[in-house]
Structure 1
Amino acid sequence: MRIQAPARRLTVYIGETDRWQGQPLYHAIVLKARELGLAGATVYRGIEGYGANSRVHAARVLELSADLPVIVEIVDHVDRLQPLLAFLDEAVQEGLVVLEDVEIVAYRKNRQR
């Protein structure tokens, strides 16, 4: 079955060492998204980047950074993302959140009951 609908992509840019209540922040975001029943979440670990402080973080053999960039991406319907935004307001101390309107095309197996 093919489903096509408008949605919103929420992208969170944070550092690998950012924490929330004793656990990695990216993991806390994924757990919160799951708790809220969102469609899914994906975490990407960057190999190089810089943020607001302009300090470059890179994964190179001779200069390994302990704080590589991390991106958490979630796509769902606009109204379903609101509770997660409230959580991010509290949990993200330094980072960037980007919201983009997108059109999704989802493919699902036909489920017979």
Structure 2
Amino acid sequence: MTRLTGRALRVTIFIGENDTWHRKPLYTEIVHRARAAGIAGASVFRGIEGFGASSLIHTSRLLSLSEDLPVAVVIVDTEERVRAFLPTLDALVTEGLVILDDCEVIRYVGREPKQGETGKEGKR
């Protein structure tokens, strides 16, 4: 069971939905590596509109349907674990934005796996 409360560090990675790592979505690779590194949690959020360094607007509006919507991967854990994970992000994220924020975790308690579960069944 994972417990995390108090001061923490949040890293948010802004990338494009079509960004890949060895033909897999980049956001998937980031989440899987975060899990393998023992990070407390990671979530992926798909944006409906945005732009980055290129100033090209990507949107989900029907008249200008984009195939490369913005994606944000948010990771929260202790500062020590997040900073230890940053070199992994340096290797994976060639285009995008990575930001760090201090934050406070009010309550995070993971449930214990049921008997026979390995924790790899696609849980959040």
Q: TM-score scaled by structure 1?
A: 0.89
User: 1:100 aligns to what SS in structure 2?
Assistant: strand
User: 2:63 aligns to what SS in structure 1?
Assistant: coil
- In structure 2, relative to structure 1, the CA distance for the partners of 1:7 and 1:63 (3 Å cut) is same
Deviations 1:67-94 (A, max 9, x none): 0000000110011112321111111111
User: 1:13 aligns to what SS in structure 2?
Assistant: strand
- In structure 2, relative to structure 1, the CA distance for the partners of 1:107 and 1:20 (3 Å cut) is closer
For residues 1-113 of structure 1, the aligned pairs below 5 Å read 4-108=5-109
Query: What's the Cα RMSD here?
Result: 1.9
C-alpha distance in structure 1 between counterparts of 2:108 and 2:40, whole Å: 13
Q: TM-score scaled by structure 2?
A: 0.82
Runs of 4+ that moved beyond 4 A: none
> Which structure 2 segments of 5+ residues have no match?
113-124
C-alpha distance in structure 1 between counterparts of 2:37 and 2:6, whole Å: 20
Q: 89-98 or 3-12, which moves further after superposition?
A: 3-12
More strand by share: 1
In the TM superposition, residue 51 of structure 1 has moved relative to its aligned partner by 0.3
- In structure 2, relative to structure 1, the CA distance for the partners of 1:55 and 1:6 (3 Å cut) is same
CA contact (8 A) 2:51 2:58 kept: yes
- Give 1:102's aligned amino acid: C
Deviations 1:31-83 (A, max 9, x none): 00000111111100000000000000000112210100000001100111123
- In structure 2, relative to structure 1, the CA distance for the partners of 1:54 and 1:3 (3 Å cut) is closer
CA contact (8 A) 2:4 2:77 kept: no
C-alpha distance in structure 1 between counterparts of 2:111 and 2:61, whole Å: 46
Give the total of aligned pairs.
Answer: 110
> Which structure 1 segments of 5+ residues have no match?
none
Partner of 2:121: none
Deviations 1:5-48 (A, max 9, x none): 11000000000000112210000000000001111111000000
